[in-house]
Structure 1
């Protein structure tokens, strides 16, 4: 994981340079319930702080292997909604709970550290450049769906 000031977001593929964009991610090629589920993952900045507190460990955003760290979004109720970051539009598909793979990589109990705060998965609806520091805006869900995450 590398911090970037900007990255290209491509619908149907993900973020240029990401392992899932290249089809080499750990879970690439596995059955996906919904198309696009591996295009992009994001986590709240506050979740990283809380994970550090829970585990009493000095972990950084890159350790958590999420594509984007975002501030200011609600922590629940986003499933089915879209968010805009500049010209890029993302549909929130659901939660991104921590897995055993992450625990093995970090030698920490990430299921405990990120319980209920592991982030969200999104698909790229409208692509373009994601630029660090761009404002993030939400739009309401257009169809009634389960809003729990």
Structure 2
């Protein structure tokens, strides 16, 4: 399916061509593993991702083909979330509980697409919406501060190793079904 087709945009229209157009590569800035539900995240410099387990060492492991095998958020959104809360410093990836923090690429542009993080091929499956714990973790207004900036969920198409500093790129001419 062509980029934008899910949303009813004709891929041959000017808007469809813009949506399918090139994107500047981004960079993997942070990796976090959630060893158990509600457990503190563990930061990692490298990680292994498999089709069967998703992000190895994360509590969502063991759900082959699941739509939430990997969660991503933009570093730029961490600063915006903090701004909505009146904080001077960006929100911490530990607070948002996403697996991967990327920078320099707009995650909204990856919706309905396949993309690479290093050598791993992921498929965007939807938005990663905030949970009710955001008020508990970030304080009053935390849930609303994250709304629209929670990132993406993805499934693993091709596994491999990732490391902080890896490129994040759109997979050319291949889009999610």
Question: What is the TM-score with the length of structure 2 in the denominator?
Answer: 0.68
How much does 1:86 deviate?
1.7
Residues 78-87 or 134-143, more deviating: 134-143
Q: Taking structure 1 as reference, are residues 93 and 60 closer, same or farther at Cα in structure 2, changes over 3 Å only? A: same
Matches within 5 A, 1:54-65: 54-57=84-87, 59-65=91-97
Q: Does 1:104 align with 2:136?
A: yes
- 1:133 aligns to 2:165 (yes or no): yes
Superposed counterparts of 1:77-116, under 5 Å: 77-116=109-148
| CA RMSD, 1 decimal | 2.1
1:36 offset after TM fit, Å?
1.5
Query: How much has 1:73 moved relative to structure 2?
Result: 1.6
Question: Would the alpha carbon gap of residues 9 and 144 (structure 1) be closer, same or farther in structure 2, given more than 3 Å must change?
Answer: closer
Could you report, residue by residue, the CA deviation over 1:112-141 in whole angstroms, capped at 9, with x for unpaired residues?
A: 111111100001110011111011111257
CA distance in 2, matches of 1:86, 1:3: 18
* Alpha carbons 2:113, 2:176 under 8 Å: kept: no
State the structure with more CA Rg. 2
Structure 2 residue 39 is the aligned partner of structure 1 residue 9: no
Match of 1:32 in 2: none
Q: Which residue of 2 aligns with 1:27?
A: none
Partners of 1:139 and 1:74 in 2: CA distance: 14
Indicate which of 36, 45, 48 corresponds to 2:78: 48
How far 1:107 moved relative to its partner?
3.5
Q: Following the alignment from structure 1 to structure 2, what is the Cα–Cα distance between the partners of residues 11 and 111?
A: 31
The ranges of structure 1 where at least 4 consecutive aligned residues each deviate by more than 6 angstroms after the TM superposition are none
Choose between structure 1 and 2: higher helix proportion: 2
The equivalent position to 2:108 in structure 1, one of 76, 82, 85, is 76
Structure number with the higher strand fraction is 2
Aligned residues, how many? Answer: 134
Structure 1 spans left out of the alignment, 5+ residues: 24-34
Stretch of structure 1 that moved more, 106-115 or 79-88: 106-115
Closer/same/farther in 2, CA of residues 74 and 39 from structure 1, 3 Å limit = same
Q: TM-score, with normalisation over the residues of structure 1?
A: 0.79
